[in-house]
């Protein structure tokens, strides 16, 4: 069920078709805050007459101002300010950490996000900062109960396609954001179309398919587009920044993965145990794996059905990638390659102890 824009002359017809329809119309609150944005020095001293005068400069009839949107999945009709005013309201608290000119440039960007687990956290961080007037969302799976520690959706969304669940959340915040939904995941058949037809500015890789990760970077190199990726790593996030827009000659994964390993992955047929070692050694790096994760990986298939992923790490990954994307779009200096954003290293008082470091080294040797 897609979001529907309802013309003013069709409002009564919609109401008659849906007698249980919920209607949200708080344009008055939007006008009040728009006044504060326009006249910040009067925020604490404005009078009702001043606000009414400002409102009269915006519209004659409140019902005709802005747009009405119907959310079929909520059976709810919502009255929104016009797109530019909604953008101003949503990003007013970003200033001047992000100035007006920067905000306009960020909003006009198009971001391709592949994988809606950690990727859903990237989307939330982007939307919160007003980054992206167009989002291309790609996944092939539906929501499962175990996803809910990383994808902030209600339980009744279980069984809903991940792309649809994320799209609904975005549209409930800003219905003017264009969403291109790809429900079949990334494949050899659609990778070129998704990148080129949508005039993508930045690519976010949050999928599990190792072969497609490689093919995505090869396509990004050809198109001269940056790729960012974050892996939740215990309580931390491992960030990879690959600037094919600046240096298209850069090898995929910044040359951190040997060519023979890349070709072996692309050929397929690798046993699960060997694939796990490749992920640990090359895609994450043994030096970046925390002790509790080492211990957990040994229990996968025994006492654990899959490797653990914490919601806090997924949130940290989303925030980190949104920061990187912001700097890429604005042309700000950005560290390339791999960076570990580690809460454990910064906040765990025992992290630097000889005992803890010795334990980590023991685990690393066992994984080699």
Predicted model pTM:
0.95
Query: Based on C-alpha coordinates, what's the Rg of the chain?
Result: 23
Listed in sequence order, the DSSP H helices in the chain are 11-17, 27-38, 48-58, 83-91, 100-107, 118-128, 162-173, 191-196, 210-223, 259-267, 272-278, 291-297, 311-330, 343-347, 354-367
**For position 172, what pLDDT does the model report?**
97
CB distance 159 to 153 below 8 Å: no
Q: Smallest Cα–Cα separation from 78: which of 32, 26, 130?
A: 26
What span, in angstroms and rounded, lies between the C-alpha atoms of 169 and 97? 25
User: What's the whole-number mean pLDDT along residues 156-178?
Assistant: 97
Three-state DSSP class for 15?
helix
**For position 101, what pLDDT does the model report?**
96
Region of 55 on the Ramachandran plot (φ > 0 left; ψ -120 to 50 alpha; else beta): alpha
Question: In this model, does residue 274 exceed pLDDT 90?
Answer: no
User: What's the whole-number mean pLDDT along residues 28-53?
Assistant: 96
What span, in angstroms and rounded, lies between the C-alpha atoms of 155 and 150? 13
**For position 96, what pLDDT does the model report?**
92
Question: In this model, does residue 278 exceed pLDDT 90?
Answer: no
Q: Smallest Cα–Cα separation from 305: which of 118, 117, 183, 145?
A: 145
Q: Residue-wise over 31-54: b if at least 16 C-beta within 10 A, else e?
A: beebbbeeeeeeeeeeeeeebeeb
Question: In this model, does residue 276 exceed pLDDT 80?
Answer: no
User: What's the whole-number mean pLDDT along residues 296-317?
Assistant: 88
What span, in angstroms and rounded, lies between the C-alpha atoms of 345 and 332? 27
**For position 156, what pLDDT does the model report?**
94
**For position 327, what pLDDT does the model report?**
98
**For position 190, what pLDDT does the model report?**
97
**For position 308, what pLDDT does the model report?**
87
pLDDT over 90 percentage in the chain: 86
User: Which strand (E) or helix (H) includes residue 353?
Assistant: none
Q: Smallest Cα–Cα separation from 163: which of 188, 178, 181?
A: 181
**For position 89, what pLDDT does the model report?**
97
Confidence of residue 220 (pLDDT cuts 50, 70, 90): very high
Question: In this model, does residue 159 exceed pLDDT 80?
Answer: yes
Question: In this model, does residue 157 exceed pLDDT 80?
Answer: yes
User: Which strand (E) or helix (H) includes residue 178?
Assistant: strand 178-182
User: What's the whole-number mean pLDDT along residues 176-192?
Assistant: 97
Q: Which two three-digit tokens encode residue 327?
A: 């700097």
Question: In this model, does residue 130 exceed pLDDT 90?
Answer: yes
Q: Enumerate domains of the chain plus CATH numbers.
A: 4-81 (no CATH), 100-253+309-347 (3.40.50.720)
**For position 23, what pLDDT does the model report?**
97
Half-sphere exposure of 306 (CA within 13 A, CB side): 5
Average pLDDT, the chain: 94
- Rounded to 10 degrees, the C-alpha dihedral 190/118/152/335 comes to -120
Question: In this model, does residue 339 exceed pLDDT 70?
Answer: yes
Three-state DSSP class for 146?
helix
**Residue bearing tokens 């009839």:** 61
Which range among 97-101, 276-280, 332-336 shows the weakest confidence by mean pLDDT? 276-280
188-197 long-range Cβ contacts below 8 angstroms, 24+ apart: 188/215, 191/215, 191/216, 191/219, 192/219, 194/112, 194/136, 194/138, 195/112, 195/219, 195/220, 195/223, 195/225, 196/223
Q: Running DSSP on this structure, what letter comes out for residue 142? A: B
pLDDT over 70 percentage in the chain: 100
Question: In this model, does residue 110 exceed pLDDT 90?
Answer: yes
**For position 1, what pLDDT does the model report?**
63
């Amino acid at each position: 069920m897609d979001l529907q824009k309802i013309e003013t002359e069709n409002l009564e017809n919609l109401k008659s078709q849906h007698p249980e329809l919920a209607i949200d119309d708080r344009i008055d609150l939007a006008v009040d805050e728009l006044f504060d944005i326009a006249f910040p020095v009067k925020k604490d001293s404005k009078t009702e007459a001043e606000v009414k005068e400002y409102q009269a400069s915006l519209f004659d009839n409140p019902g005709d101002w802005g747009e009405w949107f119907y959310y079929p999945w909520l059976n709810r009709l919502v009255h929104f300010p016009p797109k530019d005013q909604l953008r101003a309201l949503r990003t007013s608290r970003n200033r001047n950490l992000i100035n007006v000119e920067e905000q306009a440039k960020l909003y006009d960007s198009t971001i391709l996000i592949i994988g809606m687990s950690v990727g859903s956290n990237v989307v939330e961080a982007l939307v919160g900062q007003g980054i992206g007037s167009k989002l291309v969302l790609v996944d092939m799976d539906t929501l499962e109960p175990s996803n809910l520690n990383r994808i902030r959706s209600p339980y009744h969304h279980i069984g809903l396609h991940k792309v649809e669940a994320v799209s609904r959340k975005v549209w409930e915040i800003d219905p003017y954001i264009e969403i291109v939904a790809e429900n079949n995941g990334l494949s050899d058949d659609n990778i070129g179309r998704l990148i080129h037809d949508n005039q993508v500015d930045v690519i976010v890789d949050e999928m599990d398919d190792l072969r497609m990760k490689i093919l995505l970077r090869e396509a990004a190199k050809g198109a001269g587009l940056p790729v960012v990726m974050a892996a939740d790593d215990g309580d931390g996030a491992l960030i990879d920044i690959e600037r094919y827009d600046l240096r298209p000659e850069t090898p995929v994964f910044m040359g951190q993965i040997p060519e023979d390993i890349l070709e072996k992955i692309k050929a397929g047929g690798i046993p699960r145990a060997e694939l796990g070692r490749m992920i640990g050694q090359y895609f994450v790096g043994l030096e970046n794996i925390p002790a509790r994760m080492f211990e957990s990986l040994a229990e996968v298939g025994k006492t654990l059905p899959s490797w653990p992923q914490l919601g806090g790490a997924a949130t940290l990954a989303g925030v980190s990638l949104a920061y990187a994307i912001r700097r890429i779009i604005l042309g700000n200096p950005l560290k390339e390659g791999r960076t570990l954003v580690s809460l454990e290293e910064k906040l765990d008082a025992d992290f630097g102890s000889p005992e803890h470091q010795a334990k980590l080294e023991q685990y690393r040797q066992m994984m080699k």
